[in-house]
């Protein structure tokens, strides 16, 4: 039903929910002016502590998972993919904060757990040793998002447009990590302790 597609702007609005600002703000921190200045789980972890970082991670994950799951149950994969992507765009480019948002990793992961659970599980399994070895959240995130469209491509139920959308999402998140990539090449990226 055409009316269900109205859930896409609703999903975008959900993606703009300022999880990091609220959680960090409750303990007296502003993630946009402290640390890396990024309103994401890693920066909140650094400036406001492990518990705050974990809450932001879960919140940002739910921003992608919730609309994807609801729309999958309502109208199938196409609407779920569109809603999950809208939520990710809302997180990365929130109109409420002059299009200056997070990097989209956790929100994209939420979408992945709904539509591509085996891909999400495989990427999580890859992420764990990367984090243990290099202790750089950005490196693990970049590798995961670059592998994401490959994982989507090899899934048997995947449609051609899903691969294109996955590649576009991967490109957006990778571009959002531009500064991290520069710091990684210079050896200046901070470790996660």
Q: What is the DSSP code string of the chain?
A: -GGGGGHHHHHHHHHT--HHHHHHHHTT--TTTSTTS--SHHHHHHHH-HHHHHHHHHHHHHHHHHHHHHHHHHH-HHHHHHHHHHHHHHHHS-GGGTT-----HHHHHHHHHHH-HHHHHHHHHHHHHHHHHH--HHHHHHHHHHHHHHHHHHSTT--HHHHHHHHHHHHHHHHHTHHHHHHHHHT-PPPP-
In a domain, 174, yes or no: yes
Q: Which domain holds residue 60?
A: 2-186
pLDDT over threshold 90, residue 36: no
In a domain, 191, yes or no: no
What pLDDT shows up at residue 189?
80
In a domain, 165, yes or no: yes
pTM: 0.91
- The average pLDDT across 161-181 equals 94
pLDDT over threshold 80, residue 1: no
- The average pLDDT across 169-179 equals 93
Using a pLDDT cut of 90, give the percent of the chain over it.
65
- Total domains in the chain come to 1
In a domain, 193, yes or no: no
In a domain, 192, yes or no: no
Quick one: pLDDT band at residue 109, thresholds 50, 70, 90? Answer: very high
């Amino acid at each position: 039903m055409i009316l269900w597609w109205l859930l896409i702007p609703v999903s975008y609005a959900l993606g703009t929910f300022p999880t990091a600002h609220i959680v960090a703000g409750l303990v007296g921190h502003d993630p946009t002016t402290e640390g890396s200045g990024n309103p994401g789980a890693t920066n909140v972890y650094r400036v406001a502590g492990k518990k705050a970082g974990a809450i932001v991670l879960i919140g940002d994950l739910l921003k992608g998972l919730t609309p994807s799951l609801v729309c999958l149950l309502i109208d199938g994969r196409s609407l779920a993919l569109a809603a999950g992507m809208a939520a990710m765009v809302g997180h990365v480019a929130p109109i409420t904060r002059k299009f200056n948002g997070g990097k989209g990793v956790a929100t994209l992961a939420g979408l992945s757990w709904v539509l591509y659970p085996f891909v999400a599980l495989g990427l999580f399994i890859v992420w764990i040793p990367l984090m243990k070895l290099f202790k750089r959240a950005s490196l693990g995130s970049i590798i995961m998002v670059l592998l994401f469209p490959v994982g989507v491509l090899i899934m048997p139920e995947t449609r051609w447009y899903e691969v294109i959308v996955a590649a576009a999402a991967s490109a957006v998140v990778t571009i959002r990590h531009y500064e991290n990539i520069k710091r990684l090449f210079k050896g200046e990226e901070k470790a996660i302790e």
